Amino acid sequence: MNTLTVGLLYGGATLTVMASGMPIALALGAVAVAFMYFFMPAASLDTVTQNVYEEMASITLLAIPLFILKGAAIGKSKAGQDLYSALHVWMNRIPGGLGIANVFACALFAAMAGSSPATCSAIGSAGIPEMRKRGYSGGFAAGIIAAGGTLGILLPPSITMILYAVASEQSLGRLFLAGIGPGLLLVALFAGYAVLNFRRELDAAKLAYAASGTEHAILRSEDFTVAQKFSALPRVLPFVVLLSGVMFALYGGYATPSETAGLGGILALILIAVIYQAWRPSDLAPILASTLRESTMLMLIIGMSLLYSYVMSYLHISQSAAQAIVAMQLSKWVLLAAILALVIVLGFFLPPVSIILMMAPIILPPLKDAGFDLIWFGVVMTIVMEMGLIHPPVGLNIFVIRNIAPDIPLADVIWGTVPFVILMALAVLLLCLVPGISTGLPDVVMGTATAR
């Protein structure tokens, strides 16, 4: 049986098993083991556990459960609500300031927690009710929180980027730095849209008031004293200091990513104990349980995805696919567009973790041969996968929003995310035109890369 036939069977079997509703980790593992049984030496089955262990025996992957612990400690506390409240108090006089405060709160919380669902839940539980109380439409309130939550897989510490660094054998520190510029770009685009939307809804409210005399909530202004503004800071600043300290330790060369993750996790536990008095076993149990549950789930997906990729490589499926892509002799930008389109389609069904580990062996060699910087591509691919978090049918963040705001119709939530999907596509275009947005900071901090 030739490689093409085996590859088609491999892909078809994967889609069939996933369509059955089997969990992703088990689906990938089942397909890999089945093809080991039929197409590889019989002794291969005796080394399944060894192969999984060897593939996962990376010191970089050790950072994942530690960053999850840090995120759980912050996410299970009231840090997100306090962060949002502080930003709201300081930005309420800016047109659309409430929407901008939600974007900034999502960005800062994402950088502290490193989790998209946690960011949506922590900021959305406070932000969505406040926005709706002040007259913002439910769709916009849901959309801006869902989109802001996607920054959790772009801004460091991003678990998705850790996996990409392992799969592409690139510097994790450089990859983290490369995500900061595009992350700030998305924050600026989201905040700009928040201002435009506010003006649109404000004009509509004024017209309605002129016609009927009924005052809309968005027309009311709210003032805070200087004392109120500064009183909102003490609970927030320690977490900002934690974020700054962790990033300084990592990029200053004082600690490895795993050591930085461990330091961040311990300091986060100390901060919630001091600030929120969360030190009792009953307080820590949800944090540790969440960390254990999410880490186990994620590491199982990683292990099975790596086994899946190993079988794909052993059967020469990934190599043949990469060679076939190169043989098509597409121009570099057509190649990039085709690969990103494939990532978008996969995002309809798969989470970012599986997309990276399954597709890296196939798409990275042709991209490298075409002259693309794999660090830059990792950022672009992450933004494209962010889009998958807020569009159906998977749209993880959409379902998180539905859980915290069940009274907002699903159609309104989906339509509310559409402008942000368009803004993400615009950000990808800008990165293609000006790659320095991503590569400039790591080049300045860590020196110019030896190869592009």
Q: Is 96 left (phi over 0), alpha (psi -120 to 50) or beta?
A: left
Asked if residues 172 and 60 have their Cβ atoms less than 8 Å apart, the reply is yes
Higher pLDDT, 376 or 400: 376
The answer on pLDDT for 386 being more than 50 is yes
Structure confidence at residue 451 (pLDDT): 44
The answer on pLDDT for 405 being more than 60 is yes
- Residue 184's nearest CA partner among 443, 434, 427 is 427
The answer on pLDDT for 186 being more than 90 is yes
165 vs 287: CA distance, rounded Å: 27
Structure confidence at residue 381 (pLDDT): 92
pLDDT confidence band for 217 (50 / 70 / 90): low
Residue range 246-275: mean pLDDT, rounded: 81
Judged by DSSP in three states, 235 sits in: coil
Structure confidence at residue 22 (pLDDT): 82
Q: Report the chain's C-alpha Rg in angstroms.
A: 23
Length of the chain: 452
450 vs 445: CA distance, rounded Å: 14
Structure confidence at residue 82 (pLDDT): 78
Judged by DSSP in three states, 360 sits in: helix
Distance, CA of 87 to chain centre? 22
State the amino acid at position 130 in one-letter form: E
Q: For 146-150, 304-308, 379-383, which range has the lowest pLDDT when averaged over its residues?
A: 304-308
List Cβ<8 Å contacts ≥24 apart for 200-204.
201/135, 201/136, 201/137, 201/140, 202/95
Structure confidence at residue 430 (pLDDT): 95
State phi, psi for 252 to the nearest 5 degrees. Answer: -80, -5
Structure confidence at residue 192 (pLDDT): 92
The answer on pLDDT for 219 being more than 70 is no
Domain boundaries, the chain: 47-446
Structure confidence at residue 215 (pLDDT): 59
Asked if residues 449 and 373 have their Cβ atoms less than 8 Å apart, the reply is yes
Cis ω for the linkage preceding 392 (within 30 of 0): no
